[in-house]
Structure 1
Amino acid sequence: MRITRHYLTLAGRRVHYRMCGEGPPVLLIHQSPRSSDEYRQVMTQWGERFTCIAPDSPGFGQSDPLPIDRPTTEDFADAILAFAQAVGFHGIAAYGFHSGGIFLMNALKRHPERFVALAVGGYPCFHPHELDDVGEAYLRPFHPQPYGEHLLWAWNRMLEQSWYFPWYKPEQARRMSAPHADPMVLHPQVMDLLASGDAYRHGYRAALSAGYDVPPADADVPPALLSSYSSDPMTAHMARFPALPTGWSTAEQPDPAAHYSANADWLAQYPAPGFAPVQDNDRGFLSVRTNAFDGLIHWRGQGDVLHLPGPGRSLDLLPEGVLAIDLPGHGLSDPWPGDPPLDWADWQAVIDAATRALGAREVTSEPLLPGEPELLFPDLSPDRYGNHLVNGWALLRAGHAFAPRYAITRDTMTPMAEGAMDVDCLAREHLALMRSSAARALHQARLSTR
């Protein structure tokens, strides 16, 4: 089941969302500091029964933050309602996990007429003394640092949140029941954090400072299911809930798979009306199919000339407004289905398809970096200790002072451009590099055409 991706502009703020499946629409709201990427597997499963729509919350994933210095729970809830209206919901059936569920709960409490049904995973009911654990200490400022120090913090912060709650109190009494150190699980979580930057704190703060928004027992509200699974620290909170409204219930599942299955079964009882989604026309995702590739290609801009970023880079590094795409295995485009091809013909077929679809008449590419492909683009696969992130950062720093960037000698010194080591610029380059699973192959394929 294919997931499509879209952009929509609301009051000048760009919103990115994923969509998948057929049937009654269900809105999926992710937790912090994730993005709609969190729901990819859920969407392919639920897509057999629902049309799943999963936006990136403001400031997360590819969505712009709210233009507010310190947004509240109500601000995030209102953003959900505005998005739902814009994409055509006439009655909202929704699922949200942790902070996603908190925002949805606030929206339902204030605007019950907008909802058909609500399912929430891991809704909290903190005791007053527990609120100190999830205050500002939980929300460490997050800014790029010159030598990549922020990357080690990000990796270990996301790693140890499965070891302790809260993550910053490594104590025996705070141990979690299902710790892990799987780099393949951690890497997309950390990449979402890097994409949000310091804006990650806004969504967290709004959710963690929210009051208990479950409506009172006598409220006239749509039905809801509040559930969780055994290893979630919020599971214990369900026993704290006061009396719930009519049609509301709680449930505990043994694991995440059972949790999502049970929530899908429950939501299927309350189908929402159909809708007709809309999207922006100045950027998006092309569905491209060639002999070697079948997936989504990220594009942006307008014009007759299609610009191609270099290996290991993305269109976000090009000037705003120019027509550009991310090639497969780069930026936000899908990866190649297998090993990236070394035959330029396979890459050219994708470029030709995108050129036709976007109406371009000419194609131009960024120049290749000097050096050997295997050294310019070493293996940056996720590492248990997060070393791949730091290695990528160090490689980029060197590239602004030496060429080739892996050869550090007097003879390889190059003039440094003003602002070359600006940490925000490096952070954007780093995101592009870490998203590039096919950089070495692209470099080799382009060399073969010379």
Structure 2
Amino acid sequence: MSGSRHFAVVEGREVLYRRFGEGPAVFVLHGSPQASRAVIAVAEACAARGLCAIAPDTPGAGMSDPLPGERPTSADYGRHLRGLADVLGLKRVGLYGFHTGAATACAFAGLFPDRTAAVALEGLPAWTEDERADFTANYLPSFQPSWDGSHMAWLWARMEEQVLFFPWSSPTPGARMRYPVTPKEGVHANCMDLLDAGDAYRAVYQAAFDFRLADWLPRLVAPALIATTEFDVLRAHLDRPEMEGLGRAFAGLPEIQAACADHLAAHPGAAASPAPVLTDRGFVAVGAEALAWRASGAPGQPVLRLHAAGDLSTPPTPDEGPVITLDLPGHGLSAEGWKAPPTGLEGWTDAVAAALDGLGLRELTAEGEGIGGRIALALHRRNRVMAARATGPGGGPPPEADFGSVSLTPEWDGAHLVRACRIARWERLYAPWHDRTPARARAPFDTLDPVSIHARAVSLLKAHDRWLAAARIEAQTD
């Protein structure tokens, strides 16, 4: 059962959320440092039982804007979730939460009992003061881009360690866990979640470490299922004094996911309303996939703006006139679901034309850079846009004789993360980046600021080998 992605605005901050099924509403809240894609299986289990599962990216995680303040609490996240419920027209909801999400769900239920139908709390924490102090001091180092890309090597190792030791920051025999090593695709997905959050990942985590179960259990009046799996790192918390006799351990993920969905279905809230439609941002279906779009909202004849290979759309500003931007197939927010790139320039153009049809856009002009420019010209040849302009022919992929593979597909050691940073830096110095001769040097070159190079590296990683497919089209001659 596939879900859909949407945006909402809560007190001026954007929230990305996923929606599965129809019926009584349940919030499905992920753990840290992940985003909503990590709880898709639970959301699908709820939808299969006749519920409408809504899985938001927690503020500061995934693609949701962070909360203000230096150290928001689980109560703050609970209040924000109530704000999202208000925006979505959800009067009374069920809640599922995993680890960090369980703390937020518990806080919501304690603060707003009249809005809570039931809660299913997987891995609800019951920290000791020593654990809380240790995690606060050692678990959450700052994540800042470095000029040489070494922060990417740290990130990969950090995500590997998370399934080896708990806490990951204490690699000792006593902290060793029994999890199987995560496949490279799973480590990569976790890395991409933290790359979306950046240093904001710490605030979401810290709220869960500051969570004190004794402050919230007396306020929990909704029907509650408190549980873990037998192999969960927080399994031992079920035996702590605050939770003694309240929780249950399940053998594995299928069992606990089914139990949580059954519990929420047995205590339904109010039926979910249709998803509100935003006029400035969203996703448009293109066959079985979707493209992300943004609009400036200004009146007049719109300009379609398309980006280059490995890039993502630049948000339009209200003062630049009516602009529509798309993340191209397999790029940016359009990366999800596109396992392979479209075939040839015609396939890329077909996808953009389908998106324009889905958005009801007819009278517009188009401009683009690199492959975006080639698509714009192709749309004009089809009489799909009234005029088109192209800039930046692009450099194409490097010769394998000199560079070997430059694939950004996940590798077991995370080398692709560092490679993306190196490519992004060379792009600032040479055009094309792989022709590193004096004749191809950029003079003057753009800033070598690590933050902006890191941002480009992340956009390359979102596209991974679809970037190469697009770059090959950029290098073609008509």
1:12-411 aligned at under 5 Å gives the runs 12-49=12-49, 50-213=51-214, 215-216=216-217, 221-242=221-242, 249-276=246-273, 277-289=275-287, 294-302=288-296, 304-315=302-313, 317=314, 319-320=316-317, 322-334=323-335, 339-356=340-357, 357=359, 359=361, 361-366=364-369, 367-372=392-397, 378-411=406-439
Q: Whole-Å Cα distance in 1 between the matches of residues 246 and 452 of structure 2? A: 49
Which whole-Å CA distance do the structure 2 matches of 1:216 and 1:323 have between them? 48
User: What letter matches 1:255 in structure 2?
Assistant: G
| 2:463 corresponds to 1:436 | yes
In the alignment, the residues of structure 2 paired with residue 243 and residue 388 of structure 1 have an alpha-carbon distance, to the nearest angstrom, of 43
* Distance in structure 2 (CA, Å) of the matches to 1:90 and 1:425: 42
Paired amino acid for 2:413: Y
TM-score for the superposition, normalised by structure 2: 0.86
Structure 1's unaligned 5+ residue stretches are none
Distance in 2, Cα, partners of 1:61 & 1:306 = 26
Would the alpha carbon gap of residues 365 and 63 (structure 1) be closer, same or farther in structure 2, given more than 3 Å must change? same
> Aligned partners of 2:33, 2:457: CA distance in 1, in Å?
19
Matched positions, count:
440
Secondary structure at the counterpart of residue 119 of structure 2:
strand
* Aligned CA-pair RMSD: 2.2
Question: What is the CA distance between 1:335 and its match in structure 2?
Answer: 5.3
SS at match of 2:94: strand
Q: How high is the TM-score relative to the length of structure 1? A: 0.92
Once the two structures are TM-superposed, the CA of residue 358 in structure 1 deviates from its matched residue by 5.1
Contact 1:7 1:284 in 2 (8 A): yes
Deviations 1:96-154 (A, max 9, x none): 00011101111212221110000011011122332233213111011111111211111
**Cα pair 2:7 2:278 within 8 Å, conserved:** yes
In the TM superposition, residue 318 of structure 1 has moved relative to its aligned partner by 5.5
1:355 Cα deviation from its structure 2 partner = 2.4
Q: Tell me, yes or no, if the aligned pair for 1:301 and 1:324 is still in contact at 8 Å.
A: yes
Quote the Cα distance in structure 2 between the aligned partners of 1:13 and 1:335. Answer: 23
Alpha-carbon distance between aligned partners in 1 of 2:147 and 2:17, rounded to the nearest angstrom: 32
Give the secondary structure class of the aligned counterpart of 1:432: helix
Query: Residues 239-281 of structure 1, C-alpha deviation per residue, up to 9 Å, x if partnerless?
Result: 114478xxx9522112222221221122111111112132422
- Tell me the SS of whatever aligns to 1:365: strand
Distance in 2, matches of 1:449 and 1:224, equals: 63
Unaligned stretches of 5+ in structure 2? Answer: 370-391
Distance 1:27 1:336 in 2: 23
Letter in 2 for 1:300: R
Distance in structure 1 (CA, Å) of the matches to 2:339 and 2:428: 32
Q: Which has the higher helix share?
A: 2
Tell me which amino acid in the other structure corresponds to 1:369: G
Give 1:25 deviation, angstroms.
1.7
Change (3 A) 1:105 1:417: same
Aligned-partner Cα distance in 2 for 1:205–1:128: 14
Question: In 2, Cα distance between the equivalents of 1:274 and 1:214?
Answer: 31
| Amino acid of the structure 2 residue aligned with 1:269 | A
C-alpha contact (below 8 Å) 1:33/1:200 kept by paired residues? yes
Q: Would the alpha carbon gap of residues 338 and 77 (structure 1) be closer, same or farther in structure 2, given more than 3 Å must change?
A: closer
Judging changes above 3 Å, is the alpha-carbon distance between structure 1 residues 374 and 236 closer, same or farther for their aligned structure 2 residues? Answer: farther
| Of 271-280 and 186-195, the range deviating more from structure 2 | 271-280
Output the CA distance in 2 between the equivalents of 1:86 and 1:341: 36
**Whole-Å separation in 2 of the counterparts to 1:62 and 1:416:** 34
Report % sequence identity.
32
2:382 aligned residue: none
Matches of 1:221 and 1:427, distance apart in 2: 46
- Number of the residue aligned with 2:453: 426
Distance in 1 separating the partners of 2:440 and 2:475? 21
CA distance 1:201–1:338, change in 2 (3 Å)? closer
Q: Counterparts of 1:231 and 1:262 in 2: how far apart (Å)?
A: 17
Check conservation: 2:23, 2:272, Cα contact below 8 A.
no
Q: Distance in 1 between the 2:102 and 2:289 partners?
A: 31
Contact persistence 1:227–1:250 (CA under 8 A): yes
Instruction: Work out the CA distance in 1 between the residues paired with 2:417 and 2:132.
Output: 33
What is the DSSP-based 3-state SS (H/G/I as helix, E as strand, rest coil) of the residue aligned with 1:228? Answer: strand
Q: What SS does the aligned partner of 2:367 have?
A: strand
Q: Do the aligned partners of 1:395 and 1:405 also contact (CA within 8 Å) in 2?
A: yes
Q: Distance in 2 between matches of 1:216 and 1:406?
A: 59
- For residues 475 and 285 of structure 2, the distance between their equivalents in structure 1, rounded to whole angstroms, comes to 27
In the alignment, the residues of structure 2 paired with residue 141 and residue 338 of structure 1 have an alpha-carbon distance, to the nearest angstrom, of: 32
